[in-house]
Structure 1
Amino acid sequence: MSVENRTVSATTDPPAAPELAPADDWNPITVTDYPAEYRRLRAERPVAFTSDYDGFWGVMRYQDVQKGSRDWRTYTSGQPFVEFPEFMKSIPIQANPPVHTFFRKFLSQYFTADRVAMLVPDIEEVVAHNLDPLVARGGGDMIEEFGRIVPQQVLAKFMLLGDDAWEAMADSLARADAVRHDLAKHREVNKTLWNPTVEALIEDRRANPQDPAIDVMSGALLLEPDGRPITQEELVALGVQIFSAGADTTTAAIGSIVGHLGRHPEAQRELRDNPALIPTAIEELLRLAPPLHQVGRHTTRQVSSHGREIPEGVKVGLNVYSANRDEEKFDRAEEYVADRSPNPHLTFGHGPHQCMGSPIAREELRATLTQLLARTSSFELTAEPVSNGRPLRTGWTNVPVRFS
Structure 2
Amino acid sequence: MTQQETQTRTQDDWNPTTVEDYPAVYARLREDAPLAYTSDYDGFYGFMRYKDVQKGARDWKTYKSGQPFVEFPEFMKSIPIQTNPPEHTFFRKFLQQYFTPARVQMLVPDIEQLVAKSLDPLVARGGGDLITGFGTIVPQQVLARFLRLQEDAWETMAASLAEADSVRHDLEKHREVNKRLWNPTVESLIEDRRRNPQDPEVDVMTGVLELRPEGRAITQEEAVAIGVQIFSAGADTTTAAIGSIVHWLGRRPEVQAQLRADPALIPAAVEEVLRLAPPLHHTGRHATKDVEAYGRTIPAGTKVGLNVYAANRDPEKFEDAEQFRIDRSTNPHLTFGHGPHQCMGAPIARAELRIMLEQILTKTGGFELAAEPESNGRPLRTGWSHAPVRFVRR
**TM-score, with normalisation over the residues of structure 1?**
0.94
Structure 2: runs of 5 or more not aligned:
none
Percent identity over paired residues = 73
1:206 maps to: 194
Give matches, 1:3-402, under 5 Å.
Answer: 18-21=4-7, 22-224=10-212, 227-402=215-390
Contact 2:111 / 2:355 at 8 angstroms: preserved in 1? yes
1:9 maps to: none
**TM-score, with normalisation over the residues of structure 2?**
0.97
Equivalences, count: 389
The 1:86/1:192 distance shift into structure 2, 3 A limit, reads farther
Contact 2:360 / 2:366 at 8 angstroms: preserved in 1? no
Per-residue deviation, 1:205: 0.5
Distance in 2 (alpha carbons) for counterparts of 1:292 and 1:193 = 21
Per-residue deviation, 1:223: 4.3
Residue deviations 1:26-69 (CA, integer Å, cap 9, x gap): 10111011111111001100001001111110110000000000
Distance in 2 (alpha carbons) for counterparts of 1:79 and 1:200 = 26
Residue deviations 1:136-191 (CA, integer Å, cap 9, x gap): 11110000000000000000000001110000101110110010122231232234
Residue deviations 1:312-371 (CA, integer Å, cap 9, x gap): 110000000000000100000000001212100000000000000101111001100000
Question: What amino acid sits opposite 2:343 in the alignment?
Answer: C
Question: What amino acid sits opposite 2:116 in the alignment?
Answer: A
Structure 1: runs of 5 or more not aligned:
1-15
Distance in 2 (alpha carbons) for counterparts of 1:36 and 1:212 = 48
Question: What amino acid sits opposite 1:323 in the alignment?
Answer: A
Residue deviations 1:114-141 (CA, integer Å, cap 9, x gap): 1111101001100011101101111100
SS at structure 1 position matched to 2:53: helix
Contact 2:41 / 2:70 at 8 angstroms: preserved in 1? yes
Q: What's the RMSD between the two structures over aligned residues? A: 1.2
The 1:191/1:86 distance shift into structure 2, 3 A limit, reads farther
1:12 maps to: none
Per-residue deviation, 1:247: 2.5
SS at structure 2 position matched to 1:68: helix
Contact 2:35 / 2:294 at 8 angstroms: preserved in 1? yes
SS at structure 1 position matched to 2:306: strand
Question: What amino acid sits opposite 1:90 in the alignment?
Answer: S
Question: What amino acid sits opposite 1:18 in the alignment?
Answer: Q
Distance in 2 (alpha carbons) for counterparts of 1:341 and 1:214 = 35
Instruction: Indicate the larger mover: 101-110 or 236-245.
Output: 101-110
The 1:373/1:44 distance shift into structure 2, 3 A limit, reads same
Distance in 1 (alpha carbons) for counterparts of 2:346 and 2:30 = 27
Contact 2:3 / 2:299 at 8 angstroms: preserved in 1? no
Per-residue deviation, 1:306: 1.2
Residue deviations 1:226-272 (CA, integer Å, cap 9, x gap): 74322110000000000000120000001101121111212211211
